[in-house]
Amino acid sequence: MHLKILIHGHPGVGKTVLASTAKDALLLDVEGGTLSILDKIEKKQITVEKINEFEDLEKIYTELKSGKYKDKKTIILDSLTEIQKKLMDKIVKDHPEIKRAYGDGLALSDWGYNIERMRRFVRTYRDLPMDVIFICLSQIVKDENTGATTLMPSLSGKLASDICGYVDIVGYLYAKENKEEEVERHLLFQPISKFFAKDRSGKLGISMENPSIIKIREKIFDKNEVKK
């Protein structure tokens, strides 16, 4: 009965707003971008913890396991793109013995270690007994053999495809203007054209207009159970 989902899209499209529609949510604000949900924060409809360093994420995970946030049903990590950068900062700080180009450049070993640590980090949070929502920016990835491009979560190397395999749902969020010149938001669940998305449940269709986490849960799980 737990939702494990990754939402990716371009900046400002509404990823944080969408994630904040989850019930009893704790949002880990890594990007410092919660202005769009300020009203929900002020009304205490969502709890936000500011993340300054990667160690803060490790600390909150320990607190989650110990029951500090036992009233929360959802954890939101916003965003994995920024979390990978904070992890790299930690790696560089913790390993000054490694020779890096220009002093502050990154060694190949830094990236290898970063990617493996990110894999473990995502799996650890994913396995929490609650709904887990990962947010990520999008980037264009080009296949060097075929030249084909795919819009994937913005993570380095093969990490994007690996993490997409760790969750049940990958949704690509986009906005478009309708005939009334109003902005509509759509969450794509199928790999249409160059956009990467997936739905292991098989219940979400191609896309959802004006999506919310509650609507997604109702489609996947029994509606009566969702309302409890």
Arithmetic mean of pLDDT, 166-190? 91
Q: What is the pLDDT of residues 27-47, one digit of tens each?
A: 999 998 899 999 999 999 999
**Does pLDDT of 227 surpass 60?**
no
pLDDT of residue 178: 77
In the 8-state DSSP scheme, what is residue 44? Answer: T
Query: Residue 181 region, left (φ>0) first, then alpha (ψ -120 to 50), else beta?
Result: left
Q: Do the beta carbons of residue 189 and residue 169 sit within 8 Å?
A: yes
**Does pLDDT of 126 surpass 70?**
yes
Arithmetic mean of pLDDT, 165-192? 91
Helix (H, G, I), strand (E, B) or coil at 152: strand
Beta bridge partners of 25: 46, 74
pLDDT of residue 177: 81
pLDDT of residue 147: 84
Q: What is the pLDDT of residues 87-124, one digit of tens each?
A: 999 998 888 887 776 656 777 788 899 999 999 999 99
Q: Quick one: tokens of 59?
A: 């600390």
d(CA 104, CA 92): 8
Q: Do the beta carbons of residue 164 and residue 198 sit within 8 Å?
A: yes
Instruction: Classify strands 131-142 and 74-78 as parallel, antiparallel or unpaired.
Output: parallel
What's the mean pLDDT when you consider all of the chain? 92
d(CA 194, CA 147): 12
